[in-house]
Amino acid sequence: MNYNIALLKGDGIGPEIVASAVKVLDKIGEKYGHTFNFTDYLIGGIAIDTKGEGLPKETVEGCLAADSVILGAVGGPKWDTLPGDKRPEKALLGIRSALGLFTNLRPAKLYPALKDASPLRTDIVEKGFDIMMVRELTGGIYFGERGRRQGKYGEEAYDTEAYSVMEIERIARVAFETAMKRSKRVISVDKANVLESSRLWRETVHRIAKDYPEVECTDMLVDNTAMQIVRNPAQFDVVVTSNMFGDILSDEASQITGSIGMLASASLGDNTRGLYEPIHGSAPDIAGQNKANPIATILSAAMMLRYSFSLTEEADCIEEAVNKVLEKGYRTADLCGDSGATPLSCTEITERILEEI
Ligand code: IPM
Ligand code: MG
């Protein structure tokens, strides 16, 4: 088959990690007889610098015309002082929204080879964990009304968390459908003891749960969830939550896998076109030094094969190759800790993964 993929390399380490994912896809194409055609589009700081805006029209059009999209990362210190609606991050929210990608799947699982890289106590790590975080991606406080105004104590700023029944229903359905293919457990995370938007979230999730009688659905408050993720991550299977809670909890979940450099994500909407990106940022401190861990982006490419193109065998092949490379003890700098392993560069670990494919 022939697939057209839009590449949004973005800023910082973005171009390096996307280059690794491209090499892996080319290798998969060779092995299984597919052709992946890649077209670059600008997004983020680099788009601001060259086109005067973070999300140029051609980028949105290019992504809409593509079969799927791979994104590196956006942002960096150079653009940190721009007003909120001109920042590179705004472009990322813009493309998620423009493509209607309301679902964000963020799998956080422990690779047995990385047990030592996890900061958790051995007895906790021994039990393993495999969490599928289902984050709502185009609503909530990220997209609610915000601004500055005069308040009781002078100038104040506000951001609004708002969720409609429709938005909660559709993400809840994704979570239950996902759970049906896994161990049939959903934990819905909210702050219903304080927030009205969370009370609607909870009510709505429970209503949708009735359509999935086989799935066990439990509520958990977000503060407790933050604690449980480090206390007993094995209790989680599918976790469904709002845009902001999902942002925060997925970074936490990534740490216990050993490194944020391991966590892939798939952003999906109503059709098969998705946007696949690592959950980490642009890491400006190591940009251009060939030190970045490309695994999260490579695993995101595997998610693209699985979710957008239904190429299950090909996706499994990439995941197994990553696993084998880790089992053989190869590590990028972020995964070394005090293990004494010699860190491989971004291109070196990519080569090891290509060899396994
Ligand atoms: C993520 C990132 C983004 C988010 C930022 C860069 C806007 O942290 O994908 O988790 O908050 O969604
Ligand atoms: Mg984040």
Mean pLDDT by 10 residues, the chain (357 residues): 97 98 98 98 98 98 98 97 95 98 97 93 96 98 97 98 98 98 97 98 98 98 98 98 97 93 97 97 97 98 98 98 96 89 96 98
Over the Cα atoms of the chain, what is R_g?
20
Annotated catalytic, 41?
no
Distance 287 CA to ligand 2 centre (A): 18
Structure confidence at residue 341 (pLDDT): 85
pLDDT on residue 235: 97
Catalytic residue among 191, 212, 330, 334: 191
Domains of the chain: 1-109+263-357 (3.40.718.10), 119-256 (3.40.718.10)
Is 142 designated active site? Answer: yes
Given this model, what pLDDT does residue 119 score? 94
Ligand closest to Cα of 279 equals: 1
pTM for the whole thing?
A: 0.96
Tokens 């992946």 belong to residue: 36
For ligand 1, atom 4, which residue shows the shortest CA distance?
247
Length of the chain: 357
Please state the atom number of ligand 1 nearest to the C-alpha of residue 277.
9
Residues 6+ apart with CB under 8 A from 261: 278, 280, 292, 293, 295, 296, 332, 334, 335
DSSP state letters, 103-147: EEEEEEE--GGGGGGS-S-HHHHTT--EEEEEEE-SSGGGTS-EE
The rounded distance, in Å, linking the Cα atoms of 182 and 113 is 23
Q: Which two tokens stand for residue 176?
A: 């239950």
